[in-house]
Amino acid sequence: AVTPKIAPSMLSSDFANLASEAHRMINYGADWLHMDIMDGHFVPNLTMGAPIIESLRKHTKAYLDCHLMVTNPLDYVESLGKAGASGFTFHVEASKDNWKELIQNIKSQGMKPGVAINPGTSVEEVYPLVESENPVEMVLVMTVEPGFGGQKFMPDMMEKVRILRKKYPSLDIEVDGGLGPSTIDAAASAGANCIVAGSSVFGAPEPAQVISLLRNSVEK
């Protein structure tokens, strides 16, 4: 069965106080911590990599949901596995030739493999990865162009979520970008169960209330 996973995006946190920001989110009721890894090449922004995951891992046992917005995801698997990442979600646009090898390597590092799709990429591109003998265990449907927090949710992406949910009733389906109290119902009713939320959680006067609102929307 698909259970809700609410994943605050640490991209919206105070990076200079990452451990306390992580503890704060877990205390507010977060299930996962979403870690946006960007290489300044696949997307026009540069964030964090294995050294920061390794540092944060020393301070928390939380599930670290790593979203790799990088051109060569295979180069990051071993270092992130050793650093203590929990999930490793690569982009389908960056893994055309080597997704089988990637999934294999991600699993041998003890991480959960996921695949992400950009707004301009059609949903059919992930079918082979979900239906493979050694499949991905989550699909991340981007609801903004990747690269930055604080952008506007793209409702047209919900059609992808609906198609995936119908095809794969027990798959983890994550949505990322512009999720918050005003957009969660669209995502939840389409069938998303893993909800990434950056600015709507970190920018709220009471983040715990936003996290529980997101969870209640997925559960109903």
Q: Which active-site residues does the annotation give?
A: 36, 176
Binding of Zn ion at residue 174 (CB under 5 A)? no
Binding of Zn ion at residue 172 (CB under 5 A)? no
Select from 5, 6, 11, 80 the one that contacts ligand DX5 (CB under 6 A). 11
Binding of ligand DX5 at residue 36 (CB under 6 A)? yes
Binding of ligand DX5 at residue 87 (CB under 6 A)? no
Binding of ligand DX5 at residue 199 (CB under 6 A)? yes
Report CA-CA distances (Å) from 70 to 83, 91, 158.
Answer: 17, 8, 24
Report CA-CA distances (Å) from 106 to 34, 66, 78, 194, 208.
Answer: 17, 12, 8, 20, 32
SS3 132: coil
Cα separation of 220 and 204, whole Å? 23
Give the shortest CB-21-to-Zn ion separation in angstroms: 16
Judged by CB under 6 A, the stretch of 4-12, 54-62, 90-98, 129-137 that binds ligand DX5 is 4-12
- For residues 122 to 141, the per-residue mask of contacts with ligand DX5, x marking binding by CB under 6 A and - elsewhere, is --------------------
Residue 60's contacts (CB-CB under 8 Å, 6 or more residues apart) are 19, 22, 23, 26, 33
Residue 104's contacts (CB-CB under 8 Å, 6 or more residues apart) are 134
Q: Which residues are near ligand DX5 by CB under 6 A?
A: 9, 11-12, 34, 36, 67, 144, 146-151, 176-179, 196-200
Q: Which residues are near Zn ion by CB under 5 A?
A: 36, 67, 176
